[in-house]
Amino acid sequence: MRAVWYERGGAAHDVLQQGTMDVPEPGEGEVRVRMAWSAVNPHDVKKRINGREVQDGHRIVPHSDGSGEIDRVGKGVPEQRVGEQVWLFGAQVGQVGGTCAQYCVVPAWKAVVLPDNVSVKQGACLGIPAVTAAVALNATGSVADKRVLVAGGAGRVGAYAVQFARLTGAQVTATASAKDIAIVEQMGAARCFDYADPALVAKLRDDTGKKGYDLIVESRFGSNIELNANVVSRNGVIAAYGFDDNLSPVLPAMQLVMRNAVCRFIGIFGLVRQEQEAALRQVSEMLARDSVQHRVGMEAGLADTASTHQRIEEGHLAGAALISI
């Protein structure tokens, strides 16, 4: 099969190689997926740069997210699953074979059936971003009728968080760059504010009638903790899945204590399997309830995998980076 792999950590154009590998066979409890699309996440880029999982003689096929069709099942998996169109979650977590190849073998529960209203290409956008959004929204229990603020509502996680929160009945506010405000409001935010606005704190406080937000879904915890401490509600939750460059921020502890606020850090691969499976079901339920938008930022071929990694490192890509397999 055609595949991309790396055998050491480093820069994308230095370590990513393309060639042929043996087609993998599914073991007990596993399925093999004929890949259609592979998605590149910042998570994949960081793993490639540091090369932590590389061992002597191992080739790491990158990428945790993607989509395709099940073409073979292992022992204990119903034969009826052959032919299912699926999206994959955490494909390269805990193993050397990810989605950037013609075939990928994963535990059967990590291959989630796509509903009829979601195309195979759209399915590749899900994975880490959609599951992270679902888990973040669970940080305060049901968000129905609650005030939810999504920071970075135009980002991959943020866009799903805005839409899932709306579908669950939350009162959704978001922040984004000025150019993306209309897009975020079209996806379901009742209001979206420019995160560069010097008056942002005052506008967010006015947005809730000074009550604050019950849940804040945060992509830049270090940089925004001062702001969030000013706009979180009493007993509110700040659910942080991203930390930007400020990895050791000074916390405004007194403000957070006075609000009895909770800072919840979202690491989806730290969840136990039952929690991950629950999040996968939740995403499937959201997809089936309404037309969820899936933002695609770029498409490339297998030969351009290194350049796609480079685009992710440079940032400012609006939407998923997809590799056509």
In this predicted model, what pLDDT tens digit does every residue of 68-114 receive, in sequence order? 999 999 999 999 999 999 999 999 999 999 999 999 999 999 999 99
2-126+294-324 and 129-269 have identical folds: no
pLDDT at site 57: 65
Strands (DSSP E) found in 16-102? 17-20, 30-40, 65-73, 85-88
User: Cα separation of 301 and 312, whole Å?
Assistant: 15
pLDDT at site 252: 96
User: Cα separation of 157 and 209, whole Å?
Assistant: 27
pLDDT tens readout for residues 35-76: 999 999 999 999 999 887 887 668 999 999 999 999 999 999
| 111, β-bridge pairs | 88
Angle at 54 between CA 53 and CA 56, to 5 degrees: 140
pTM listed for this prediction? 0.96
pLDDT, mean of residues 17-43: 97
Say which residue, 51 or 205, is predicted with more confidence. Answer: 205
pLDDT at site 171: 98
CATH class of 129-269: alpha beta
Q: Is the pLDDT of residue 238 over 80?
A: yes
pLDDT at site 52: 77
User: Could you tell me the pLDDT band of residue 291, with boundaries at 50, 70 and 90?
Assistant: confident
User: Cα separation of 48 and 153, whole Å?
Assistant: 27
| CATH entry, 2-126+294-324, from 3.90.1530.10, 3.40.50.880, 3.40.50.150, 3.90.180.10 | 3.90.180.10
User: Could you tell me the pLDDT band of residue 196, with boundaries at 50, 70 and 90?
Assistant: very high
Return the domain boundaries, the chain: 2-126+294-324, 129-269
pLDDT tens readout for residues 258-287: 999 999 999 999 999 999 999 999 999 999
pLDDT, mean of residues 121-129: 98
pLDDT at site 148: 98
pLDDT tens readout for residues 146-180: 999 999 999 999 999 999 999 999 999 999 999 99
User: Cα separation of 42 and 297, whole Å?
Assistant: 14
pLDDT at site 56: 65
Closest alpha carbon to 318 in 301, 295, 299: 295
pLDDT at site 289: 84
Burial class (CB in 10 A: 0-12, 13-18, 19+), 273: exposed
pLDDT, mean of residues 129-158: 96
Total residues belonging to the chain: 325
